[in-house]
Amino acid sequence: MAPVPAPAPGTSSVITLNINGEKHTLPVDHRTTLLDALREHLDLTGSKKGCDQGQCGACTVLLDGRRAVSCLQFAVAAEGREVTTIEGVAEGERLHPVQQAFLDLDGYQCGYCTPGQICSALGVIEEHAAGWPSAATADVRPEAGPPPLSADEIRERMSGNLCRCGAYVSIVEAVARAAGIEAADAHGAAADPGTADRGTETKGAVA
């Protein structure tokens, strides 16, 4: 990998990023996104650059356990936070249950969006376990407790991650299996996890 030229004084900082449990110190221009820092500075290329506008979800990582699109996150703003990329999901040679479910159920085709899908699925499962409602949740009262993680819930919660190949049905099943829940209505569900016309509007977003 070619050496990264030092940014101009006054527009850069030397930062330390905690990525997948390891600390990385590097100089970055203040305008450098977390995605570019990962891919271009640290050679962590699992997170993909799709639309570069925060719309496709291919660059999704976890910041302190919560989902974030790294193309809209400045690297300097991630200093001091726990960053988890797709490279840090597995435990050595042992796949994470979410990864295994995607593999077993063919929750991918070309695989370009898959790292972001998996990181987003990890966030979805944690958010649901914490009782967070979604736009598909019928009863959002705190006393109602966590909603059932139905296929509709999974589709809504994963709607920020687009799959240009259209593997949505298998993605829903994989998230359900990883969460230990049978999404009985996953088969025959609408292909797009978001609104009916969203896939058409953003069809060319992922380059």
Phi, psi of 41, rounded to the nearest 5 degrees: -95, -35
* 194 and 101 together in one domain: yes
* 35 and 53 together in one domain: yes
The residue out of 65, 88, 111 marking a domain boundary is 88
Q: Strand 82-84 to strand 12-19: parallel, antiparallel, or no bridges (unpaired)?
A: parallel
Asked if residue 38 has pLDDT above 60, the reply is yes
* 191 and 130 together in one domain: yes
* 52 and 69 together in one domain: yes
Instruction: Report the pLDDT value the prediction gives residue 5, as an integer from 0 to 100.
Output: 65
- Burial environment of residue 196 by CB neighbours within 10 A (0 to 12, 13 to 18, 19 or more): exposed
* 82 and 103 together in one domain: no
Count structural domains, the chain: 2
For residue 94, count other CB atoms closer than 10 A to its CB.
Answer: 9
Q: Is residue 6 part of a domain?
A: no
> Can you tell me the distance from the alpha carbon of 207 to that of 173, in angstroms, rounded to the nearest whole number?
26
Q: Is residue 207 part of a domain?
A: no
H helix intervals, the chain: 34-36, 97-104, 114-129, 151-157, 168-178, 198-201
Structure pTM? Answer: 0.82
Q: Is residue 206 part of a domain?
A: no
> Can you tell me the distance from the alpha carbon of 43 to that of 118, in angstroms, rounded to the nearest whole number?
19
Q: At 45, which CATH number?
A: 3.10.20.30
pLDDT band, residue 6 (cuts 50/70/90): low
* 56 and 114 together in one domain: no
Instruction: Report the pLDDT value the prediction gives residue 200, as an integer from 0 to 100.
Output: 34
* 19 and 112 together in one domain: no
Q: Which domain holds residue 68?
A: 12-88
Q: Cα 103 to the chain's mean position, in Å?
A: 17
Q: At 169, which CATH number?
A: 1.10.150.120
Asked if residue 139 has pLDDT above 60, the reply is yes
Instruction: Report the pLDDT value the prediction gives residue 1, as an integer from 0 to 100.
Output: 60
Higher pLDDT, 151 or 192: 151
CA-wise closest residue to 157 among 165, 168, 166: 168
Instruction: Report the pLDDT value the prediction gives residue 7, as an integer from 0 to 100.
Output: 55
Asked if residue 21 has pLDDT above 70, the reply is yes
Mean of pLDDT values over 145-169: 94
